[in-house]
Amino acid sequence: MSSDFNQLQIFLDVATEAVMAAGTILQDYWGNLTAIEEKGRPGDLVTEADKAAEAAILKVLHQHVPDHNILAEESGQLGNQESPCLWAIDPLDGTTNYAHQYPVSAVSVGLLVKGVPQVGAIFDPFRQELFRAAKGLGATCNRRPIWVSQTATLEKSLLVTGFAYDRRQTTDNNYAEFCYLTHLTQGVRRGGSAALDLAYVACGRLDGYWERGLSPWDIAAGIVLVEEAGGLVTAYDRSPMDIGTGRILATNGQLHSSLSQALQEVPPLSEWGVGSGE
């Protein structure tokens, strides 16, 4: 078992090197963007910072783990697709924030082994916060141990969520869930970076997080952080998490059942009587 932990520690150090290299590039490009493009969906942006940061991450991975599989947000599937090790990388999670110089963005690098997230590193270049975790090795922020909150009820909780790029095209857009949970809690935040949302649940700043329409690179690293910090990550209905569905429920554990239940009982917006005085 110790050899497994040693290998995960090595992979964690690789992930750390990768996010730090990308973070430096994001700092360099901050406020100096010259090309901001849409990737086919309204609001789904990519900049030269995304591309340069991803190149830096790929360089680190190719140097240390050239035989592994890679899933990168901008480059797609790379490397040895027969490998059980898959690196899911998001060079700039929160591109819209970054493009508007709203400083809520991060670099996220996660490693899945046989489809299960095992290693995660997330770096926030604006707050200089480095979140790290690996299965069985705990979770840290700037090398200090972190833990989820002890909030036990929804009415005492502060939650976070987000809205997918297809929110204009589907009624399954999380609007009703956002409104409903806002009524049941002390508040629901919308940060714009799934990686940081999960990191903040892991370190106890937020008590729970749910979202749909996500990609593996958005959440792979954060899943490990939350679980290693003592939290729980599942599907909305508390069934085992399937990273391919794009749906996630992550909490401090104590809130998990009540938040899951609330998500399943959300009435559609058409029943809210908005503007009718009801």
Number of domains in the chain: 2
Strand partners, 46: 37
Q: What letter represents residue 93's amino acid?
A: D
- Residue 275 in any domain: the answer is no
Domain of residue 33, CATH code: 3.30.540.10
59-75 average pLDDT score: 95
Q: Write out pLDDT tens, residues 176-198.
A: 999 999 999 999 999 999 999 99
- Residue 133 in any domain: the answer is yes
Task: Using the 3D structure, point to which of 145, 179, 211 is the last residue of a domain.
Answer: 145
Q: Is the pLDDT of residue 78 over 70?
A: yes
Q: Is the pLDDT of residue 245 over 60?
A: yes
The predicted pLDDT at position 42 comes to: 62
The predicted pLDDT at position 274 comes to: 55
The predicted pLDDT at position 1 comes to: 42
Task: Using the 3D structure, point to which of 120, 145, 170 is the last residue of a domain.
Answer: 145
Structural domain of 218: 154-269
**One domain, residues 107 and 197:** no
Q: Is the pLDDT of residue 12 over 80?
A: yes
**One domain, residues 141 and 12:** yes
**One domain, residues 8 and 136:** yes
CA distance 57 to 43: 24
Q: Is the pLDDT of residue 219 over 60?
A: yes
How much of the chain, in percent, has pLDDT values that exceed 90?
81
Note the pTM of the prediction, 2 decimals: 0.93
Task: Using the 3D structure, point to which of 104, 120, 145 is the last residue of a domain.
Answer: 145
The predicted pLDDT at position 68 comes to: 97
- Residue 21 in any domain: the answer is yes
Domain of residue 158, CATH code: 3.40.190.80
| Total residue count of the chain as it appears in this document | 278
The predicted pLDDT at position 258 comes to: 98
